[in-house]
Structure 1
Amino acid sequence: MEQLGRKRLPGNRVVRRRLDATQVISLTTDPDRREAPHVRTHAKRFVLAFTLLVVLGAVLLALPWTTESGQRTAPIDAFFTAVSASSVTGLVVVDTQDHWNFFGEAIILVLVQAGGLGFMVGASVVLASLGRGLSLRDSLLLQDGSPTLSLREATNLSKRVLRFIFVCEAIGAVVFTIRFAEDESLPAAIWHGVFTSISSFCNAGFDLQGGYGSLTAFADSPLINTTSLLLIQAGALSFITFSDVWTRKRWSRFALDTKLVLTTNVILLGLGTAMFLTLEWNNAMVHVGDWLKPMTAFYQSASVRTAGF
């Protein structure tokens, strides 16, 4: 019996160690975490800020000095436009160019930019700080090795995101202006270029071409199509994805979410392009030159997913 007892002692010690380890891990999954109220407070502030943005935009758009006719816009139409612009949806009940004057268009553009900035900056900070306020188990499940951001780090990241956004939009505005200046006065071309660039990058779908025509007038323009497409993709893929690609450079070193985003994007773009070419070659694209049809199908595949041009 003593021999048997001695043989069991090591086993007993192993069992006790396992129980201790389990108890330590269970302490990190305590549901009463201090960060929970903090997270809820930020969520409430975000919802409140978005609501105030929509209400302010709707009130301004309902004023008579924002329309071409000088008449008031119906409150429901002003509210719908403000929500559509702030949420970068792009749906309209009145044509942006024909109904609104410069002030109305400027208000819509501010709403689009605010909505786009809020989404991209917020998403970038959240993705980069994944793990804050979570247990060890939840953090490991959500993302491996993702850092928790301090206030200073979050501020620095926000500044980098803003620089990325404004550089992309500025380049797009210059290219659009050069093309629009061929058919419009320089001041009008600059305004239309800035508006189209911001709308493209924010994936908003608002345009200033009139007649509910969107960018169909430029279906045969490789410059407009390519510029708009690149801006749409830059805005849709987000700063975090581009930063990860730029920093790590090799596919094997990319973060899991970067691989998922890029893979899904390529698959959807490829399938959409193939479907448009197959179904619309001799239908909607019958009047488009054969050499332009692949570009048109590719642009349409990217646009219908998020931008809506």
Structure 2
Amino acid sequence: MKKIMKFIDPPKILVLGFAAIIMIGAFLLTLPIATVDGNGLSFLNALFTSTSATCVTGLVIVDTGTTFTKFGQLVILSLIQIGGLGFMTFATLVAFVLGKRISLKERLVLRESLNNISMEGIVRLAKRILIFTAVIEIIGGILLSFRFSFDMPIGKAIYYGFFHAISNFNNAGFDLMGEFRSLTPYAEDPIVTLTVCALILLGGIGFIVMNEVFEYRETHRLSLHAKVVLVTSFVLTVGGTMLIFLLEFGNPKTLQPLSYSGKILASLFQSVTPRTAGSNTLNIPDLTQSTIFLIIFLMFIGASPGSTGGGIKTTTFSTLMGTVWSQIKGKEDVVFFRQRIVFDTIYKALTVTVSGLFLVIIMTMLLTITEEGKDFLMILFEATSAFATVGLSMGLTPELSPIGRVLIIFTMFAGRVGPLTIMYAIAIRRRPDPFRYPKGKMMIG
């Protein structure tokens, strides 16, 4: 493995690593032992499910709770855990256990995997990530197991509790409730709603931010990155909750029948889950079109860098909004918390957003061809959900044509690994230009 890594750039290693894990998972899900009927999944359906799990998306063609045996479900859960944390984090864990030294090239790939700026302390961060993950998933699993124990036998409750804790912390959205119900039976339940929301938000803010918050008692400082992530996440969560509450308040199919506290809990959950978990406590097709469009917007933004979620990321969105605001005010610099954002960051934010937007547009156009007759908003919702590795669905995924499934597989993979990472992986080695052209001016707007 080390000999191979010496000759491959970190972006290529990430792309090939995720692809290898997906293929292994697909093979396991085709085995007769993986499904209840004893036939295994077809290769395309297995590939779709494995991609969705490894890319922590949650879009499913078949119902997870009723289709798969315990073996199949545990394969999916393993893929979710590996995909959520990144295979390099797991490789680092194996190296720790075996007492092996982490090479410089492996540290570079680990930094790329965690989307970290610096290589300083990267191995220590990987250790912290594993500890944070174990503690959060155990606490979440215990709380959910306690609640589920009132509705099912204790053994099943524990299994369901930890499955859903791992799935939601990794922002995957796979569930075992059956009949594609997700967590809709618990729309007004404060324990399930608040526990799952906490798991999604903790998994979505990013391990770098989580580590800074953990060390705050000693350092008494947060980086600019952490401040932007926390503020943006708070604004999007609270703003999304308020808008969904207002838009769905009178909808007889969603919030209207619920108690006042139930309305708030359901609005909060539907605001948090597009960031990018995929669980839901309200039936998505029953939402108003305005709410669905809002969720598409939230899904496209997604989680934060270095997290288990997808999307263009909260920092990208904040950088673009800051740039627009600076232009409106006639200022040259983009400033957050009395710190100037360098132009390289602005260019990268623009590139990430445009490449993500193009991917969603192209896939939506192709799906309108392959899934002719389907509602356009449903197709746009599905394409955005796949790109942002959210997993929310309006019901289109189980009805996708074989070509449509292949398109969504590619979209989920590109969304998880990142369009830029894929482009870097397939591009010819980049070299600096030997000269610069003279400046030119053109009118904009």
Question: TM class, shorter-chain normalised?
Answer: 0.7 to 0.9
Shift of 1:154: 2.6
With over 3 angstroms needed to count, the CA separation of the structure-2 counterparts of 1:258 and 1:281, relative to structure 1, is same
Q: Does 1:86 align with 2:83?
A: no
Q: Does 1:236 align with 2:204?
A: yes
With over 3 angstroms needed to count, the CA separation of the structure-2 counterparts of 1:73 and 1:290, relative to structure 1, is same
3-state SS in 2 of match to 1:72: coil
Contact 2:171 2:278 survives alignment (8 Å): yes
Shift of 1:39: 10
Contact 2:26 2:50 survives alignment (8 Å): yes
- The residue type paired with residue 192 of structure 1 is Y
With over 3 angstroms needed to count, the CA separation of the structure-2 counterparts of 1:263 and 1:38, relative to structure 1, is farther
Q: Does 1:285 align with 2:285?
A: no
Contact 2:86 2:113 survives alignment (8 Å): no
Contact 2:54 2:80 survives alignment (8 Å): yes
- 2:265 alignment partner, one of 269, 280, 295: 295
Shift of 1:38: 6.8
d(CA) in 1 for partners of 2:179 and 2:111? 35
Q: CA RMSD in A?
A: 2.3
Aligned to 2:148: 180
With over 3 angstroms needed to count, the CA separation of the structure-2 counterparts of 1:304 and 1:219, relative to structure 1, is same
Q: Does 1:263 align with 2:235?
A: no
d(CA) in 2 for partners of 1:242 and 1:72? 39
Aligned to 1:308: 278
Higher relative contact order (CA 8 A, sep 6+): 2
d(CA) in 1 for partners of 2:85 and 2:227? 24
Aligned pairs (5 A) from 1:96-111: 96-111=64-79
Aligned pairs (5 A) from 1:54-133: 54-118=22-86, 121=89, 122=110, 126-128=114-116, 130-131=117-118
Contact 2:11 2:112 survives alignment (8 Å): no
TM-score by length of 2: 0.54
* Greater share of helix: 1
- Whose radius of gyration is greater, 1 or 2? 1
d(CA) in 2 for partners of 1:251 and 1:285? 44
More deviation in 208-217 or 40-49?
Answer: 40-49
Shift of 1:304: 1.9
d(CA) in 2 for partners of 1:211 and 1:126? 35
TM-score by length of 1: 0.76
| Number of residue pairs matched by the alignment | 253
Q: Post-superposition, which runs of at least 4 consecutive aligned residues in structure 1 deviate over 3 A?
A: 37-40, 119-128, 248-253
Q: Does 1:166 align with 2:134?
A: yes
Contact 1:64 1:71 survives alignment (8 Å): yes
3-state SS in 2 of match to 1:70: coil
Aligned to 2:183: 215
Shift of 1:65: 1.3
3-state SS in 2 of match to 1:307: coil
State the identity as a percent.
Answer: 37
Contact 1:177 1:189 survives alignment (8 Å): yes
- 2:222 alignment partner, one of 254, 268, 275: 254
Contact 1:125 1:157 survives alignment (8 Å): no
d(CA) in 1 for partners of 2:219 and 2:135? 26
